[in-house]
Every structure is written in C-alpha cells, then in structure tokens.
Structure 1
Amino acid sequence: MVIQKGAELCFPQLLNSSCRKPILHWSKAVFLNIMLPCLSLTTAALNLLVIISVSHFRQLHTPTNILLLSLAVSDFLTGFLILPLEIIRNMACWVLGDLMCSVYTYLITSLFCASTGIIVLISVDRYVAICDPLHYPTRMTVVRSKLSVCLCWFYSTFYSSLQTKDVLINPGRYNSCYGECVFLISNIAGTVDLVLSFIFPVSVIIILYMRVFVVAVSQARAMRSHVTAVTLQSSLNQTNKSELKAARTLGVLVVVFLACYCPFYCYFLVKENVVNDSATFFVIILYYVNSCLNPLIYALFYPWFRNAVKLFITFQIFTHDTSGANIL
C-alpha cells in the first residue's frame, strides 16, 4: 500500500513534501498529447516564416511591417518556448525545478505584455494612416517604428520584472510541494495588472479603431461617389484604397486578438481564484491560439506573405539577391 502511494507521487523519495501526480481527464490528456504539440509546432513555424520574410525582403521594411515583425517574434517565442512549458506544467509534475518555474512565469508575463503593447502600436499606426494620411510618412517612419518596438519590449520586460519579482528573488515561493509550478498575486497587484494590461490598452485599441472605422467608411463613400480624371487625384485614391485595405486587414487582426485575449481577464473578474481553477487552462490556451491565428490572417489577406512562402517552398530564396525581389 505504501509503494502504491509512493508511485502516485511526483518524487517518491520525498514522501512528506512531494506533490501527487495529476490525474487528467482523457479529453484533456488527448488535447495535451496531440493538439497542443501540433499548435506549438504550427505557431513556431508560421511565425518564423513571417520573421524571415519581413527581415529578408527589403521591400517589406515598412513601419507597419516592423510592428508585424515584432508581433511575430512574440508569437514565435510563445509557440517555441511557452507552449512546451505549458504542456509540461499541465501534463505531469513540474520536473524542471523552481528556477525554471520562475523563468516560465516571467516569460509568459513579459510576452503577454509585449503582445498587447504591439497591438496598441498597430492601432496607432492605422489611426495615423487613415485619419492623418498626409503626415503619415513623416510621423510613422521605419526608425520611429523600431524605436517604438524597442520601448514596448523594454516596458514589458521591466513591468514583468516588477510583477514577478517575488518568484525571481525567491523561486518556488508559492509552491506548496515539490513538482508544482504556481504563481499567485495579491488583490492589489491583480487590480493594477487588470488596469494596465487589460482595461487601459483595450480601451485605447477600441477607441482608435472606432475612429478609424468612422473615417474609413466616410472615405470609402467619398471614393465611390467622386470620380475624377486627374492623375494626381487618381493616385491619391489608389493610396487611400491601399490604406483602407491595410486598415481592414489589421482590424481583423485586432478583433481576433481581443476575442482571444478578453476571456481570461473577464474570467479573472468573475472568479476569485483563477490560478487554481481547472477552467483557467482553457482560457489560457485560447490566448495561445491567437499566436497561431496571426500568421494565418497574413496568409489570407497579404499577397506578400503568400509570395514569400512560395519562394521558401521552391527554395528560390537561396538564389542570388532575392532580398531585392518584388513580392508585393
């Protein structure tokens, strides 16, 4: 009987301090063994294609694509690092130690924050492009986009360090037994995080895109009702159409992000103890799904991404001077 009890422990040699091995429902076990590894590989592979495409082709070095590149980096790290660790944490006992548990907590918090910040930057980019198109080339340059991305990542790392400083200083602080990896926050810290990570950025995103939507609709009606033979005006209309199409595509990106992002924080508002609730796993996975959906959105709406994928599949990217190729 004692042997059987020890066999149920994560570390049988630590009878008094070891956690028990988790007992998973068959549906969750199948999901963790099949679906989640496939999601991890697909997310990492698709976002790696986006990273290589934007980095390799000089024609794609635009302010908007710099923001998409940064979002792809965050999504790639989510698929390559966070999802495998999430599988380990939910599938079996945490065997990587308290230090890796602290690193995992820090990474997931940092990437959450970085993704949200980049979506806000994308909303600002589209707001300037649609609502103030004449000043867009001077206000949204490649250099400023890179600087904005760097500041966003700096803020996310700094904010995550403050939020997870307890487990970074004292790894395993909230673990009740060996083989566990949990992270708890106080009510005050949770409220502050709710405001900074959810209410404020989501409000900014919604307000900016509501303004973009109103202006885009008015511009679309104006272009349909006004026909001119002037070449300059025709060129301007063509530019407006391109910007409107980009705004529509990135609007889909933002809507999908909010659809995957909001359930966790809404769940946080309803439940007092989110960390130990089993349903938390599914709302977190829904957020991870967003990292895989983003490159699929690019594939549906961006011809340059489809053209870049064709060059990869046919190995033409390894030919001479493909970085200057026209893939738009």
Structure 2
Amino acid sequence: KLHTPTNLLLLSLAVSDFCVGLLMSFQIILTDGCWFLGDVLCTLYCALDYITTSASVGTMVLISVDRYVAICDPLHYHTKVTMRRANVCTCLCWACSILYNGVLLKDNLKQPGRYNSCSGECVVVLSYMMGVVDLIFTFIGPVSVIIVLYGRVFVVALSQARAIHSHTAAITLQGSETAHTKRSELKAARTLGIVIIAFLTCLCPFYCSSLVDQNSLFVVTSVPLELWLFYCNSCLNPVIYAFCYPWFMKSVKLILTLKIFDSD
C-alpha cells in the first residue's frame, strides 16, 4: 500500500534530506576550522551539498504538484499521476539538479581549491550573476510554484469541505456543524502555513545575505548562521511532509514493531 506516486516523491525527499544530514556530519567534525581532506574532496563535498539541497527543493515542488492534482482534479488523478510518471519526474529532478549545479560550479570543478586563501581552507565561490541565477531557480521559482499551488489547494479544499458540510447540515445541529467547518478550515490553513513559512524562514536569510555580497561564498570551514538555517530545512521536511500524515505514522509503527510480518 505504500507503493504510490506520492510516497515515491516522499522517498526522493527522504533520500535528498538524508544525504544533506550525512554531508553535514563532515561539517560538524570540522569544528576547529581546518579541512584536511584535500582540495578535490572539498570541491566534491560542496558539489554534493549543492546537488542534494537542490534535489530536496525540486522534490518539494513535485510534491506540491502532486497534491494540487489530487485535490483539484481527483477524478483524473490516477490517470495523470502514475508510478511511471512519478519515476520519470523524480529521475529528471535529480538529473537536472546534477546538471544545473555542475554548470553553477564549473569554475570550481575545473580547478579545485582555486579560491582558497590559505592551507586548510575549503571555499567555493559563485559569481554575482551565478548567484542571481541560483536565487531564481532555487528560491524564487520554487517558492512561487509552492505558494500558488498550495494556495489553490487551500481554496479548493475549503470549498469541498463546505460542500460536504452543507449536504450533512440537515441531520446535524447547526452549531456543531459550523464549529466542525471552522476546525477543518483552521487545520488546512495551519498545515499549508507550516509548509510555506518553514520554507521561507529557512531559505530567505541565506539568499538575502548572498545578494548583499558581490560574490556568493560557500566556506566549509566557517559556515555562517544563515547557512545552518538553510540546512535546517532538510531537518524540518520529514516532520512536515511525512509525520503529519496519520496513515504514514501508522505504517511506520507497523514496520518498526515488526507487525508487518504478521499473517494478517
């Protein structure tokens, strides 16, 4: 029952965010501010970091598209969103992330360590133009898509809830019905608000600070607070996109308690 297009996208998000956490273990080790693994591994580390974070954001956009189709066009959802299409979109998301960040970091990849000012430093530099491009494709574009689609989902979900409540109003007390409608509206607003606010809160400081500087520096040996906040987005995604679903939590419980092996 877990083999659905939605869960495939959640799997992609889980993989990307897990990779971000795995890469951050190297960052935590470097508390003394020195990189001892060489310039090639420094560039590779930074490239993988860019790729996984971009794939995470791209997958979030795909999830918003999936939810949009499921809510706004439910009758055609199973014909429009299939496992095959979900597989293709997921693979394209990762492939585009690799290609995009390869172009973004081409100067750093050609000559690893070219921007290091001293031994033991790990620095990747993007030009101001590349920083603007990254701002558009990794922040402004995804934020716009997510806000528009989730806004549409919110409106349609409210209209559907009100339509259902109007049909059941004849056998339900008006007071309790109104209260139930309000609870549904508040729950929908809260969920969508968490998605958008978390995304903006985590990514806004990083891109605002990168626009202030003429060059966008990714300094592994001295990571600023806004970059740590950027990484926190990958920490929050599992909570927002997975653990808010009761059916997902039930499935996880069945797996962890080994009840999945029961005959029934």
TM-score tier by shorter-chain length is: 0.7 to 0.9
Amino acid corresponding to residue 32 of structure 2 in structure 1: M
Residue 69 of structure 1 corresponds to 11
Cα contact 1:130–1:216 (8 A) shared by 2: yes
Superposition pairs of residues 151-166 of structure 1, within 5 angstroms = 151-166=92-107
Match for 2:209 among 246, 263, 267? 267
Specify whether residues 246 and 320 from structure 1 end up closer, same or farther in structure 2 by C-alpha distance, changes over 3 A only: farther
Specify whether residues 143 and 248 from structure 1 end up closer, same or farther in structure 2 by C-alpha distance, changes over 3 A only: farther
Cα deviations by residue, 1:102-154 (Å, 9 ceiling, x for unpaired): 11110111112111111111111111112222211110111111110000000
Match for 1:285 among 210, 223, 228? 228
- CA distance in structure 2 between the partners assigned to 1:250 and 1:147 by the alignment: 27
Structure 1 segments of 4+ aligned residues over 4 angstroms from their partners: 245-251, 271-274, 276-280
Specify every segment of 5 or more residues in structure 1 that has no aligned partner in the other structure, as ranges.
1-58, 230-244
Residue 142 of structure 2 corresponds to 201
- CA distance in structure 1 between the partners assigned to 2:125 and 2:196 by the alignment: 29
Is 2:123 the partner of 1:191? Answer: no
Is 2:53 the partner of 1:142? Answer: no
Residue 182 of structure 2 corresponds to none
Is 2:162 the partner of 1:224? Answer: no
Specify whether residues 168 and 279 from structure 1 end up closer, same or farther in structure 2 by C-alpha distance, changes over 3 A only: closer
Cα contact 2:127–2:214 (8 A) shared by 1: no
Q: TM-score, normalised by structure 2?
A: 0.82
Please state how far the C-alpha of 1:287 moved relative to its aligned partner.
Answer: 2.0
The secondary structure found in structure 1 opposite 2:17 is: helix
Please state how far the C-alpha of 1:178 moved relative to its aligned partner.
Answer: 1.1
Cα contact 1:88–1:94 (8 A) shared by 2: no
Match for 2:113 among 172, 179, 195? 172
Q: TM-score, normalised by structure 1?
A: 0.67
Residue 16 of structure 1 corresponds to none
Please state how far the C-alpha of 1:184 moved relative to its aligned partner.
Answer: 0.9
Please state how far the C-alpha of 1:100 moved relative to its aligned partner.
Answer: 0.8
Specify whether residues 126 and 306 from structure 1 end up closer, same or farther in structure 2 by C-alpha distance, changes over 3 A only: closer
Cα contact 1:119–1:254 (8 A) shared by 2: no
Identical aligned pairs, as a percentage?
A: 55
Superposition pairs of residues 1-328 of structure 1, within 5 angstroms = 59-80=1-22, 82-227=23-168, 249=191, 252-272=194-214, 275=217, 281-297=224-240, 300-317=243-260, 319=261
- Number of positions where the alignment pairs a residue of Structure 1 with one of Structure 2: 247
Cα contact 1:105–1:164 (8 A) shared by 2: no
Specify whether residues 275 and 85 from structure 1 end up closer, same or farther in structure 2 by C-alpha distance, changes over 3 A only: same
Structure of higher CA gyration radius? 1
